[in-house]
Structure 1
Amino acid sequence: MAESVKVAVRVRPFNDREKNRNSTVIINMVGNQTEIKDPENLSADPRRFSFDFSYWSHDEFKERPDGYLEPTGTKYADQQTVFNDLGKGIIDNAWKGYNCSLFAYGQTGSGKSYSVVGYGKNQGIVPLFCDDLFDGIEKKRSTAGENEEYQVSLSMLEIYNEQVRDLLNPKTIAIKGGLKVRQDPKKGFYVEQMTLKQVNSYEEIDSKINEGTRNRTVASTNMNATSSRAHTIIGINFTQKCPNDVGESMTRTSIVNLVDLAGSERADSTGATGDRLKEGSAINKSLSTLGNVIKALADQSTGNKKVVVPYRDSTLTKLLQNALGGNSKTIMIAALSPADINYEETLSTLRFADRAKAIKTTATVNESPTDKLIRELREENAKLMEMIKSGGITLPIGGGGGGYTTDGKLHITGLSTI
């Protein structure tokens, strides 16, 4: 069943640049609604946008002795709150065998990496997700039988100037033109020669992500001292093998993509020149294509089936095809600056996030055909039993090629009773 992309926005505190320029707050959040005021026309009504979540992380917090930023009022959304709302759902769907995607969008320096990765004790969605996943695996293993098996593998890529680099294998950075992006009829676009590292604990996956993070392409601009100059995609492949309800081995695989997009930027704001300007141009081109893809998908969701979705126009949109229009449960978090000096960029981000709400994806459980048949029969069995209990249906006992046995279970010829 198709479901909409879940969209959240989050506003950060002022940074040093904004403080030095005596910036004023133009963002306000009431419940799930986000408002933005035009600093050139403060008497006008603010523009209002509604999202699944609007996170106020601008003020009403304090730093604990260990460095964690905790709320001092009811408005502040800390890292754990964001993870509980967004990350927990990804965990649950991964255990069910669904592909999941989370991507962060916003101008450079808006706080995307803080929400996705975090720093110090303020861990973001990625490390909290990994910690929770391995905690769940350990609990399962402590009670698991010999037929149960859980495997986790990690990949980490960046898209720099439209070229794909493997952050877990720095040698690939020297490959002219980057790694090749291929297309498969079943799994869609994929990266050839991508490193997939098996990890057995949270400590291992944390070490690998830190290793990949050190290999990322970053540089200083006027907007951000450590501006990411590339899009980063962390892929986690989670495979679980365990007996199904009839005692046969069942395999489910979930691919979780956690995407930290490079920030959109304006050359006059960042002061970019030379290589930085070239990088910014490539970033904006791919983000512009992403915007076109989102607009086309939104048009399709309103019934315009003739519109062509331009996935092929950038490397980024090729690799995000499943996340945006395919087999995935998808979440987008848009990071916002609260400052009047960033009004145009922040308004653009809000419009981008607003369009993303209209996208619908259809996620299916990644399982073998036999496992799928058994699961669907059990689901149908449960529905029919509820109808029988409510008096909505009456079925004969036995007969034909199938029916209900005297113990109330559905029996189909050729299959075990389920």
Structure 2
Amino acid sequence: MIRQAKGKTPRRPPPKKPSNNQKDPVGVYCRARPLGEEDEECCIEVISNTTIQLHAPDGLKANRNGEFKETQYSFKKVFGIKTTQMELFEDVAKPLVEDLIHCKNGLLFTYGVTGSGKTYTMTGSPGQGGLLPRSLDMIFNSISPYQAKRYVFKPDDKNGMEVQNQVDALLDRQKRESQTSVPKTPTTRRFDPEFADMISPEEACKASGVDEDSSYSVFVSYIEIYNNYIYDLLEETPFDPIKPKWNGAGTPLRNNIEFIPPQSKILREDQNHNMYVAGCTEVEVKSTEEAFEVFWRGQKKRRIANTQLNRESSRSHSVFIIKLAQAPLDADGDNVLQDKSQVNVSQLCLVDLAGSERTSRTRAEGSRLREAGNINQSLMTLRTCIEVLRENQMCGTNKMVPYRDSKVTHLFKNYFDGEGKVRMVVCVNPKADDYEETLLVMRFAEMTQEVEVARPVDRPICGFAAGRRQRNQAFKEELTRRLEDRGGPVDGDSPTVLNQLLQSFPPLPPCEISGPNDNVTLPRLIEALEKRHKVRQMMVEEYNKTANMLKSVLQEQDSNLLSKENFIQEQRGRLGEKDKMIQNQKNEIDRLEKKSKMLEYKIDILQKTTNIYEEDKRSLQQELESREQRLQREMSEKRRMESRMQGIVTDAKLKWEKECERRVNAKQLEMQNKLWVKDEKLKQLKAIVTEGKTENQQPKRPSREKDKVPAKRSASPSPVPTGPPVRPLHRRSHSAGGERWVDHKPTTNVDLDTVLQPNIPNAIKVNAPNEKALSKCDKYVLTHQEVASDGEIQTKLIKGEVFKTRGGGQAVQFTDIETLKQENPLAASRKRRSSETGPDGEPMEGNWTDVETRCSVALEMRAGSNLGPGYQHHGYPKRRKP
């Protein structure tokens, strides 16, 4: 279980916003300002309405390769030096104002090097209003007939709006009117008259598609971001009237009042996870002049300074926020609907970013250096955020965008996440001194165009019938017309008949009497008074007539009302009776409904029981069918198994019959070979015995003659060799034929140097038998080695014949086994030395030629002559000389 930290509320999940897969790139525009002096070098050239080219100055003309540095950059639109403020507004800011009126947010900021014309583009000058005053003028030209009264909409200090009733709004208006005569602070500044006519009437524009059945109110706020702190430029400067501040001369400063420095504001997140400045002043304005007066009041508090690059350089980022509150009218079309959920608040942020600058050029020191460092740091953070957004969108990564590293990016992160359109105006100065910084600005602006922002979704408005305001106005006009026809009052004016009578009053003649004999003035005055008296009587008669008519009308209406009341009473009595009948019928219906419910309940129970039985029946049928299918499968499997086993038994029987036959043949061959070997041994033994007897009868010959070997005994060595043994040349075995052999020698065999080694010509040597090699040969030989009982290595040659099988494969039938045994020469020499030396140490030549030794030598030679297809003699053990 995870415990929450004390004093912290859990983070609310973001509200579900309507998904929109459509995205638009950030609109980037470029505007070039004219050169300050004619003799300055220009490094910018406008090629087309979308392309601009930068030329390197003379000092940076050639790069390392000797080429000229000329780069081109493309934008959504490029504005030259002859572009007017009106043309710039038509392409850049007008679509954002139209979206604002249609409940969509927008962000517009100017970016560039210091002294490139950003403030002029945003604010303008007398007669050449910038983007900000023209946006305000377009808003009020569009919604002026549909504005709500002041204080009907009121900010809730949580980045939202609430609707007040008419009484609360009236009280707030009276409170404001009572406070207008008293200045809030001694430093209140009025609107500068030179900025009163920034927009000519010919250039006024108006948005189309304004909802006439809604009521609007405009709120503005103005903040600046200075040294990464947020300050409210519209906040009234607090002061302490009790504690005075004195100068060095002993006189109080600023009318004996000490002003408290402004406090920085903090950023917070509203319930929709949008960022806003907490505690920021929001002023409700009702006209373009009033809104721009509020802007100019905050503009004079903005921090500017004189640097070597700009006489009035902005030392902070200014943000002017225009909020438009919109709510539908009620069903009567007179008042705003008292429902906070129906209030739509859209805002347009106009940002004038401070210009990037190099301290090497401005030579700033102290606070100016600190300001420049913070400005460059915030602009660098903006570039980093744009780069990360671009990388995430183009490469599909999910890196965290560092919005919180700067107040500028943190405040506007919602716009890059899809809360509205984003547009940027890049201002450039064509002079050559700003070439390197302008190059960086151009690269950043071109990269910004590759970032895409989700298109804002239209917000729904209350679904009352359209034309409520028009119907209400038409009703008022019709009522006025009827009153005029009947002579009644019209909008508080006197009746039409009374106006005519008052106009028919004769004017009073001059009342000055020239003398006692003046007989003209008094008669005229008497005549005029008599006429006026007659008119008055006519008016009284008309009044009485009208009153009597009104009384008669009222009496008729009273009688009609009385008759209607009687009729209503009768109808009420009938309605009472009908109500009783209806109540009785309702009771009967209730009883029948209860009975019906009870029957339905029983039917449901029976239906459920039936369903259970049917389900059991279906399950049993399915189980029976499955068992039958399984039984059939088992029977078919059993039959298939029987047939398979019969085939296996037949094949095994044939196989074992062949195997038994082969083994019998092999055994017979082996016994025949053994019998033949024994016969050969007996023959050799007989020949040796016979030869030994003959030699014993012959006289002894000199030692030189003993080395001679008779022709018939060429297969055996001389009894007393006098030199090294002779290695006879290679000879083929008598059993070698024209067949091809598969010579299978495992890799584990030991290479023997002193044994008769098989040499099979025209053979395929393999380490493991394979079907490809067997298909090309007729014979097969396997070389097998093992250790004998006396410790020597014994080699066996297992030979066989290769034949094809019925299945198309190859099989080997072994027919012969030959054995080769290695003899250690040293052991043989020691044995011979011991046998040739007598008890007194002298050699005994006769012992070497004893029967046992000669038999063994003869047998080895006999076996070597019949080993296989072909063998090569590698030599015999050397015999030591006597």
Instruction: Compute the TM-score of the two structures, normalised by the length of structure 2.
Output: 0.38
Q: 1:343 and 1:45, CA in 2 relative to 1: closer, same or farther beyond 3 A?
A: closer
> Could you tell me how far 1:261 is from its partner in structure 2?
0.4
Cα deviation digits, residues 259-302 of structure 1 (max 9, x gap): 00011110011121111011000100111001101111111221
Q: How far apart, in 2, do the equivalents of 1:233 and 1:101 lie?
A: 10
SS at match of 2:237: helix
Which residue number in structure 2 is paired with residue 69 of structure 1?
none
What is the deviation of 1:91?
A: 1.4
**Which among 199, 218, 221 is matched to residue 152 of structure 1?**
218
RMSD: 2.7
2:79 aligns with 55
Q: 2:34 — aligned with what?
A: 13
Matched AA of 2:452: K
Q: Secondary structure at the match of 1:174?
A: coil
Task: Map 1:238-249 onto structure 2 (within 5 A).
Answer: 238-242=324-328
- Between the aligned partners of 1:34 and 1:116, the Cα distance in structure 2 is 22
Given the alignment, which residue of 311, 321, 345 partners 1:253?
Answer: 345
Q: How far, CA to CA, are the matches of 2:356 and 2:139 in structure 1?
A: 31
Question: 309, 313, 337: which one pairs with 2:401?
Answer: 309
Q: Is the 8 A contact 1:252 1:366 kept in 2?
A: no
Distance 1:179 1:31, change over 3 A: same
Alignment partner of 1:213 is 2:306: no
Larger radius of gyration: 2
| Aligned partner of 1:278 among 346, 360, 370 | 370
Amino acid at match of 1:174: P
Amino acid at match of 2:130: G
Q: Bigger CA drift: 179-188 or 333-342?
A: 179-188
Shift of 1:141: 5.9
Q: Which runs of 5+ in 2 are unaligned?
A: 1-21, 149-208, 239-259, 466-882
Maintained 8 Å contact 1:100/1:257: yes
**2:131 aligned with 1:125, yes or no?**
yes
Q: Distance in 1 between matches of 2:425 and 2:316?
A: 18
Alpha-carbon deviations, 1:129-157, whole Å to 9, x = none? 10011011125569999953110000100
| Equivalent residue number for residue 234 of structure 1 | 320
Map of 2:383 onto structure 1: 291
* Partners of 1:164 and 1:179 within 8 A in 2: yes
Measured after TM superposition, the shift of residue 121 of structure 1 is 1.2
Distance in 1 (CA, whole Å) between partners of 2:417 and 2:113 is: 24
Note the alpha carbon deviations across 1:101-151, whole angstroms, 9 max, x for none.
100001111100111111111110000010011011125569999953110
Mapped to 2, the partners of 1:289 and 1:45 lie a distance apart of: 28
My pick for the range that moved more, 88-97 or 144-153, is: 144-153
Residue 68 of structure 2 aligns to a residue in which SS? Answer: coil
The residue number in structure 1 matching 2:61 is: 41
- Is 1:165–2:231 an aligned residue pair? yes
2:444 maps to which residue? 352
Q: What is the deviation of 1:305? A: 3.0
User: Percent of aligned positions with the same letter in both sequences?
Assistant: 31
> For residues 370-381 of structure 1, what are the structure 2 equivalents within 5 Å?
none
Residues 271/145 of structure 1: CA separation in 2 closer, same or farther (3 Å cut): closer
Asked whether the 8 Å contact 1:23–1:341 carries over to 2, the reply is: no
1:81 aligns to what? 87
Distance in 2 (CA, whole Å) between partners of 1:239 and 1:80 is 27
8 Å CA contact 2:29–2:425 kept in 1: the answer is yes
8 Å CA contact 2:307–2:313 kept in 1: the answer is yes
**Match for residue 24 of structure 1?**
41
Residue number among 185, 191, 196 corresponding to 2:277 in the alignment: 191
1:403-418 superposed matches below 5 A:
none
**Helix, strand or coil for the counterpart of 1:171?**
coil
Higher strand share: 1
Q: What SS does structure 1 have at the residue aligned with 2:410?
A: helix
1:388-399 aligned within 5 A:
none
The answer as to whether partners of 1:99 and 1:363 remain within 8 angstroms in 2 is no
Residue 243 of structure 1 and its aligned partner are, at CA, apart by 5.6
Secondary structure of the residue aligned to 2:134 is: helix
Structure 1's 244 and 293: CA in aligned 2 closer, same or farther, altered over 3 A?
farther
- Summarize the Cα distance change of 1:144–1:359 in structure 2 as closer, same or farther, 3 Å threshold: closer
Q: Which residue of 2 aligns with 1:93?
A: 99
Q: CA offset at residue 364 of structure 1?
A: 2.8
2:261 aligned to which of 174, 183, 201: 174
Q: Cα 1:193–1:366, aligned 2, differ >3 Å: closer, same or farther?
A: farther
The answer as to whether partners of 2:101 and 2:210 remain within 8 angstroms in 1 is no
C-alpha displacement at 1:252, in angstroms?
A: 3.0
Q: Please state how far the C-alpha of 1:371 moved relative to its aligned partner.
A: 5.0
Stretch deviating more after TM superposition (219-228 or 142-151): 142-151
Residue of structure 2 in register with 1:414 after alignment:
none
Residue identity matched to 1:113? T
Q: In 2, distance between residues paired with 1:339 and 1:32? A: 21
What is the CA distance between 1:322 and its match in structure 2? Answer: 2.0
Paired letter, 2:114: T
- Per-residue deviation at 1:359? 1.7
Kindly tell me the number of residue pairs found equivalent between the two proteins.
348
Structure-2 separation of matches of 1:170 and 1:9: 37
How far off is 1:241 after superposition? 2.2
Query: Are residues 328 and 51 of structure 1, via their aligned partners in 2, closer, same or farther at CA, if it must alter by over 3 Å?
Result: same
Q: CA deviation at 1:367?
A: 3.6
The letter for the 2-side match of 1:340 is: A
C-alpha spacing 1:145/1:323, structure 2 compared with 1 (3 Å): closer
Q: 2:377 & 2:27 partners in 1: Cα distance? A: 25
CA distance in 1 between partners of 2:270 and 2:442 (Å): 34
Contact map agreement 2:96 2:106 (CA 8 A) in 1: yes
Structure (1 or 2) with the greater helix fraction: 2
Q: CA deviation at 1:45?
A: 5.5
Q: Is the 8 A contact 1:101 1:257 kept in 2?
A: yes
Structure 1 CA distance, aligned partners of 2:211 and 2:30? Answer: 43
- What residue identity is the alignment partner of 1:102? L
Q: Deviations over 1:7-31 (max 9, x none)?
A: 001110123xxx39x4211111122
User: Per-residue deviation at 1:182?
Assistant: 1.9
**1:229-261 CA-partner distances (Å, limit 9, x unpaired):** 00000000012223699x996543211000000
Query: 1:44-87 CA deviation, whole Å, 9 max, x = no partner?
Result: 25211110011111xxxxxxxxxxxxxxxxxx211111001011
Contact kept, 8 Å, 2:356 with 2:376, in 1: the verdict is yes
Indicate if the aligned counterparts of 2:110 and 2:352 stay in contact, CA closer than 8 A.
yes
Output the CA distance in 1 between the equivalents of 2:398 and 2:409. 19
Q: Are the counterparts in 2 of residues 93 and 99 from structure 1 also a CA contact under 8 Å?
A: yes
- Stretch moving more, 317-326 or 204-213: 317-326
Structure 2 CA distance for partners of 1:149 and 1:351, relative to 1, 3 Å: same
Secondary structure of the residue that 2:97 maps to in structure 1?
helix
**TM-score for the superposition, normalised by structure 1:** 0.77
Give, in whole Å, the separation in 1 of the partners of 2:227 and 2:236. 17
The residue that corresponds to 1:324 in the other structure is 416
Runs of at least 5 residues in structure 1 that lack an aligned partner in the other structure: 58-75, 375-418
Q: Closer, same or farther in 2 for the Cα pair 1:146/1:23, shift >3 Å?
A: closer
Which range moves more in the overlay, 34-43 or 327-336?
34-43
Q: Does the 8 Å contact 1:104/1:333 carry over to 2? A: yes
Q: Structure 1 counterpart of 2:261, which letter? A: A
